[in-house]
Amino acid sequence: MQIQNIIDGHSIDPIDNRWIDVFEPANGKFYATLANSNEADVNKAVEAAESAFEEWSNFTIAKRSEILMNIAHAIESQLDSLAAAESKDNGKPLSLAAKVDIPRAADNFRFFAHAITQFASESHESIGLKTINYTLRHPIGIVGCISPWNLPLYLFTWKIAPALAAGNCVIAKPSEITPMTAFLLGKICLESGLPKGVLNILNGLGSSVGQAIVSHPKIKAISFTGGTQTGAQIAATAAPKFKKLSLELGGKNPNLIFEDCDYDKMLNTTLRSSFSNQGQICLCGSRIFVERSIYNKFKTDFVNAVKSLNVGHPSDPQTDIGALVSDSHLQKVKRYIDMAPSEGGKILCGGDIKIISGFEEGYYLNPCVIEIDNNACRLNQEEIFGPVVTLMPFDSEKEALDLANSVSYGLSASVWTNNLNRSMRLSEKLESGIVWVNTWMQRDLRTPFGGTKDSGVGREGGFEALRFFTEPKNICINYSD
């Protein structure tokens, strides 16, 4: 299998004819080659996007919306094959891909197909001066969308759907580790009536093709989701060129559990927020802080629940936890687990490599719970991004808040309490872009999504995304005689 680029409506080989190997996490075997593109391919894609822009940006809103809706329907009609491709490429349970990733990819297109029909710009009347201002919101032109490997199609479509809805032409790059479903989507888009050149998909390494997208003078905005270090590098390249930037980066999210919460609901949800997608979601609650009065009970119940999770082949319907995305990522996660003793941590369960019979070379790890005695340790300060959580008790609301905020990240936080005033106080003071009270990862696509501190810059979702992907221009008319 060869995963090519999609430029100007055609699947084509990279200009230099260089390729990268792609591996299947469930068995560690090579299964596809991927275009290893570079600056020359980016130039070609930008030319295609430039020629497509005039027509696409002048399509009526109704027509654009109809095409995005066609894409949503086509994704749904191919749900089974897309879910199978996603699971094979990423190692996530097939059931998760079929229930969450692929339906959400369709939802992203459906949502922005509707949102663009409701998106309006402002007008300001300067009363007494016979002046009216109105704002035009035109597409930016050519925009770059760069996405990661943890939720491949879900996050790829989260960026390109609003970019296209707003009338831009897109140069998109999926992660080189999980490129398959983006390639399949490229074909779906063409079959659904998206004109050629409007969406160009380039494959390859971040350091070459990714960097070339970020540097290209005609790509005026970059929407990126990925690691914090990569985000910093992208910002350093794009800022001197005055590009618009939306960066959704890492997280080290706190989970604050108070004695007065709904215990069973909290326990089930905390299991999910810790280990869904092998813990490889930027929103996972990786630091669990529990009020001391219920700490021992929680520790026992949680560890027992974690031990009952099934680690297995992604296609097995009994599997709760599949394979990690790559060997190098598995090694990174393992290095953190191995540092537990020297960082004051005690492993309560898991953390060892799991061998699945018949798939011995796959990247499996037993989910790991580590009890720690200080929030300043590396396990609690650095993003591990795997099936690893830490536990620590707290004695007061103030201490819980301090622990939650004492970290460089600020993406999301969960609070478990039935005390309304406490939930309001904490929601106000937690330093994060998103706070969940008595829930986790419940998403309404209209809400602003993103983080503060080292978790990123800007917000996506709803009209925030459409504002990001448009350029406002104010027109001021004076109509006095």
- Of 72-80, 94-102, 246-254, 270-278, which part binds ligand TXE (CB under 6 A)? 246-254
**111-150 residues near ligand TXE, rule: CB under 6 A:** 146-150
**332-371 residues near ligand TXE, rule: CB under 6 A:** 332
3-state secondary structure the chain: CEECEEECCEEECCCCCCEEEEEECCCCEEEEEEECCCHHHHHHHHHHHHHHHHHHHCCCHHHHHHHHHHHHHHHHHCHHHHHHHHHHHHCCCHHHHHHHHHHHHHHHHHHHHHHHHHCCCCEEEECCCCEEEEEEEEECCEEEEECCCCCHHHHHHHHHHHHHHCCCEEEEECCCCCCHHHHHHHHHHHHCCCCCCCEEECCCCHHHHHHHHHHCCCEEEEEEECCHHHHHHHHHHHHHHCCEEEEECCCCCEEEECCCCCHHHHHHHHHHHHHHHHHCCCCCCCEEEEEHHHHHHHHHHHHHHHHCCCECCCCCCCCCECCCCCHHHHHHHHHHHHCCHHHCEEEEECCCECCCCCCCCCCCECCEEEEECCCCCHHHHCCCCCCEEEEEEECCHHHHHHHHHCCCEECEEEEECCCHHHHHHHHHHCCCCEEEECCCCCCCCCCCECCEECCEECCECHHHHHHHCEEEEEEEEECCC
233 scored as a contact of ligand TXE (CB under 6 A): yes
- Of 62-70, 202-210, 267-275, 307-315, which part binds ligand TXE (CB under 6 A)? 202-210
Count of residues in contact with ligand TXE, rule CB under 6 A: 26
Catalytic residue list = 248, 282
Positive or negative CA dihedral for 363, 365, 367, 371? Answer: negative
- Of 52-60, 227-235, 239-247, 391-399, which part binds ligand TXE (CB under 6 A)? 227-235
Q: Closest-CB residue for ligand TXE?
A: 206
**176-195 residues near ligand TXE, rule: CB under 6 A:** 176
CB of 93 to ligand TXE, least distance (A): 18
101 scored as a contact of ligand TXE (CB under 6 A): no
470 scored as a contact of ligand TXE (CB under 6 A): no
390 scored as a contact of ligand TXE (CB under 6 A): no
- How many whole angstroms separate alpha carbon 352 and alpha carbon 354? 6
249 scored as a contact of ligand TXE (CB under 6 A): yes
CB of 123 to ligand TXE, least distance (A): 37
Closer to ligand TXE at the Cβ: 67 or 182? 182
248 scored as a contact of ligand TXE (CB under 6 A): yes
Contact with ligand TXE (CB under 6 A) among 214, 219, 321, 372: 214
Contact with ligand TXE (CB under 6 A) among 165, 170, 189, 234: 234
Contact with ligand TXE (CB under 6 A) among 88, 110, 159, 173: 173
CB of 248 to ligand TXE, least distance (A): 6
CB of 368 to ligand TXE, least distance (A): 16
290 scored as a contact of ligand TXE (CB under 6 A): no
CB of 229 to ligand TXE, least distance (A): 7
- Of 2-10, 82-90, 173-181, 441-449, which part binds ligand TXE (CB under 6 A)? 173-181
CB of 410 to ligand TXE, least distance (A): 13
Axis crossing angle, helix 152-165 with helix 79-90, rounded to the nearest 10: 120
Q: Kindly give the pairing relationship between strand 409-410 and strand 452-453.
A: antiparallel
Axis crossing angle, helix 102-118 with helix 79-90, rounded to the nearest 10: 120
CB of 147 to ligand TXE, least distance (A): 6
Sheet with 142-146, strands from edge to edge, namely: 10-12, 5-7, 199-201, 169-173, 142-146, 219-225, 244-248, 456-457
Closer to ligand TXE at the Cβ: 266 or 321? 321
**264-283 residues near ligand TXE, rule: CB under 6 A:** 282
225 scored as a contact of ligand TXE (CB under 6 A): yes
Contact with ligand TXE (CB under 6 A) among 33, 135, 211, 438: 211
Contact with ligand TXE (CB under 6 A) among 103, 141, 227, 448: 227
CB of 449 to ligand TXE, least distance (A): 11
Q: Are 38 and 204 in contact (CB under 8 A)?
A: yes
Residues 32-71, one symbol each (x = binds ligand TXE by CB under 6 A, - = not), give ----------------------------------------
Q: Residue 151: what residue type?
A: L
- How many Cα atoms occupy the beta-carbon half-sphere of 17 within 13 Å? 0
- Tell me which residue of 210, 260, 266 sits closest to 238, measured CA to CA: 210
Closer to ligand TXE at the Cβ: 173 or 313? 173
Contact with ligand TXE (CB under 6 A) among 93, 250, 387, 461: 250
432 scored as a contact of ligand TXE (CB under 6 A): no
CB of 182 to ligand TXE, least distance (A): 10
Q: Which residues bind ligand TXE (CB under 6 A)?
A: 146-150, 173, 175-176, 206-207, 210-211, 214, 225-227, 230, 233-234, 248-250, 282, 332, 383, 385
